[in-house]
Amino acid sequence: MFEQTIYNYDAQQNDRLIEIFYTAVHHIDSNTYTTEQKRAWAPYPIDYAFWYDRLSTKQPWMAWFNNKLVGFIELDNDGYIDCLYVDPQYQGQGIATSLYNKVITIAQQKRLSKLYVHASYIARPVFLHWGFRCIQRNEVRRKEQVLVNFTMEKCLAL
């Protein structure tokens, strides 16, 4: 039997969280985002100081599957979902949904009226499935590359 759990942020897991992010981005099919776009999105060498500071500030929720850290999600106080990444080896197993359900619980506890996200081409169908609506298409410039994402939001019942 597979066991899946969501835990609070633990700084001892920073390197694994960073690895999940880089692996997930670079695993995206090059027909969706080119190799150059993925390098702009998740550049090498990794800026560990930036990531340690970011993770300490954001305090992501972490998904564990059979005692292995496999994904994370970040939720800002205003309802912004800043990151949602799952290790490619564990995608399609409900990890993202478990993380999202945790965010819904937190949003309800905080009495947030909406959630919003800037979803990639890959994440957009997932957020649509969860009831988000697409507000606008965005073009973000990073290192001379244009990355497309979508501003999406979901109103929550209070």
pLDDT at 158: 66
Banded pLDDT at 65 (limits 50, 70, 90): very high
Cβ atoms of 71 and 61 closer than 8 Å: no
Question: Residue type at 122?
Answer: I
Domain ranges of the chain: 4-155
pLDDT tens sequence across 117-155: 999 999 999 999 999 999 999 999 988 899 999 999 999
* Confidence class for position 4, pLDDT limits 50, 70, 90: confident
Determine the pLDDT at residue 1. Answer: 43
Q: What is the mean pLDDT of the chain?
A: 94
Give the CATH H-level superfamily of domain 4-155. Gcn5-related N-acetyltransferase (GNAT) (3.40.630.30)
Q: Average of pLDDT values for 12-28? A: 97
Q: Which residues pair with 65 in a beta bridge?
A: 4, 68
pTM of the model: 0.94
The string over 64-80, giving b where at least 16 C-beta atoms fall within 10 Å of a residue's C-beta and e elsewhere, is: bbeeebbbbbbbeeebe
